[in-house]
């Protein structure tokens, strides 16, 4: 027993010695702080992606309930009965379901929701019935990065009314200096799908839909969910866009096409047709022109370069990986870059 205790003590002292030596390494503290910062940013982006998804989902629930009410206008208590039943069947508090309905009624256009605001922010904002007053607090919350507690404090202190009396109510537009090149990646990691060795394009699309939360996290922040397989009528023929998204920073629709093959010229002409259709049928004043994202199994940079030509600002091409590369594969890729 004594020998075991001695060995444990020796290992502990050895570990402490390594830690001390590590801390004395030149530049180690800077490396440690940088990595901590990267991890913290990653956690924050993941949290924001999940919260944005929650806001969008609650808006869609509110939308569905209101549409149900409109279809049964002959029953005055229909909406109340629906909420009561949903509360029981889904085990969600009635107050929360009322908030989802109020979110939709307050923001009937989903793209008016701001990704910088959390669901908790919105539970406060939807209680403000005056539209201008609500926009005032939206803008100030985003511009000043107010927490929910601070937002509530400012409302209770009658900030809007005090500034209105002074004639100082200014609702400045929320600036978004974002370029497409800052949004899209060159390679997307779909390792979270856990696909088998052989899979079809439909398998990949279905898996992405089932793991929508992780898909949005991989795409990045500010993406809002649109529709899947959006029907597009061109030349008398119906076609379908794989996934429609909206980006709050770019203020435009993002059309996503998933391909389980190597990039081809034909993918660009197909996407360009979809973008032109969206420009004529979906685009609204104040929005940026729609952007296309083609995600392929592999791509050749030279082929992409000549296929896109002058469309490099409108269409982006990326690869995806369903499995992270091994250490040996990473080494081979680095060696290939050095040659």
Please state the domain extents for the chain: 25-103, 180-331
Instruction: Supply the pLDDT for residue 133.
Output: 93
Structure tokens at 215: 């898909």
Q: What is the CATH number of domain 180-331?
A: 3.40.1350.10
Instruction: Supply the pLDDT for residue 291.
Output: 94
Instruction: Supply the pLDDT for residue 22.
Output: 46
Instruction: Supply the pLDDT for residue 18.
Output: 46
Contact 63, 103 (CB under 8 A): no
306: DSSP letter: H
Instruction: Supply the pLDDT for residue 121.
Output: 95
Spatial CA neighbour of 135 closest among 170, 109, 166: 170
Contact 201, 210 (CB under 8 A): no
| Cβ-based neighbours of 128, under 8 Å, separated by 6 or more | 134, 137, 155
Q: Where are the alpha helices (DSSP H) in the chain?
A: 2-24, 28-71, 78-90, 94-106, 119-125, 131-144, 148-156, 159-165, 180-183, 201-210, 212-219, 265-281, 301-308, 327-338
Instruction: Supply the pLDDT for residue 71.
Output: 79
Question: pLDDT tens track of the chain, all 339 residues?
Answer: 545 454 555 555 555 554 455 446 777 777 777 787 777 777 767 777 788 889 999 999 999 999 888 778 777 788 888 889 998 998 999 999 999 999 999 998 887 888 888 999 999 999 999 999 999 999 888 877 788 998 999 899 888 888 887 776 766 655 554 667 767 877 888 888 888 888 888 888 888 878 877 787 778 777 888 878 888 888 888 888 998 998 887 888 999 999 999 999 999 999 999 999 999 888 887 788 899 999 999 999 899 999 999 898 899 999 988 765 555 665 565 555 445
Instruction: Supply the pLDDT for residue 131.
Output: 92
Instruction: Supply the pLDDT for residue 306.
Output: 92
Instruction: Supply the pLDDT for residue 3.
Output: 52
Instruction: Supply the pLDDT for residue 163.
Output: 81
| 3-state DSSP assignment of residue 234 | strand
Burial grade of 149 (CB within 10 A; 0-12, 13-18, 19 or more)? exposed
Instruction: Supply the pLDDT for residue 174.
Output: 57
Instruction: Supply the pLDDT for residue 316.
Output: 94
291: DSSP letter: E
Radius of gyration of the chain (CA): 26
């Amino acid at each position: 027993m004594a020998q075991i205790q001695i060995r444990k003590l020796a290992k502990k002292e050895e570990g402490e010695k390594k830690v001390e030596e590590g801390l004395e390494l030149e530049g180690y503290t800077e490396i440690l702080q940088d990595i901590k910062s990267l991890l913290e940013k990653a956690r924050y982006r993941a949290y924001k992606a999940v919260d944005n998804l929650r806001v969008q989902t609650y808006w869609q629930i509110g939308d569905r309930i209101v549409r149900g009410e409109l279809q049964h206008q002959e029953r005055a208590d229909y909406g109340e009965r629906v909420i009561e039943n949903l509360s029981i069947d889904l085990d969600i508090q009635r107050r929360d379901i009322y908030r989802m309905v109020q979110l939709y009624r307050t923001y009937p256009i989903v793209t008016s929701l701001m990704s910088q605001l959390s669901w908790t922010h919105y539970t406060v904002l939807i209680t403000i019935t005056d539209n201008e007053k609500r926009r005032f607090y939206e803008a100030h919350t985003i511009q000043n990065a107010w927490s929910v507690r601070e937002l509530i404090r400012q409302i209770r202190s009658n900030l809007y009314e005090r500034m209105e009396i002074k004639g100082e109510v200014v609702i400045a537009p929320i600036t978004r200096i974002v370029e497409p090149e800052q949004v899209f990646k060159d390679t997307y990691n779909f390792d979270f799908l856990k696909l088998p060795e052989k899979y079809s394009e439909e398998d990949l699309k279905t898996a992405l839909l089932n793991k929508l939360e992780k898909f949005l996290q991989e795409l990045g922040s500010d993406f809002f969910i649109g529709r899947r397989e959006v029907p597009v009528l061109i030349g008398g023929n119906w076609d379908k866009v794989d996934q429609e998204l909206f980006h709050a920073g770019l203020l435009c629709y993002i059309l996503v096409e998933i391909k389980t093959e190597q990039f081809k010229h034909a993918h660009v002409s197909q996407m360009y047709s979809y973008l032109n259709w969206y420009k004529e049928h979906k685009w609204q004043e104040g929005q940026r022109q729609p952007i296309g994202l083609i995600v392929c199994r592999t791509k050749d940079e030279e082929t992409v370069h000549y296929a896109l030509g002058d469309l490099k600002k409108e269409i982006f091409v990326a690869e995806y990986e369903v499995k992270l590369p091994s250490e040996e594969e990473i080494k081979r890729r680095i060696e290939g870059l050095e040659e």
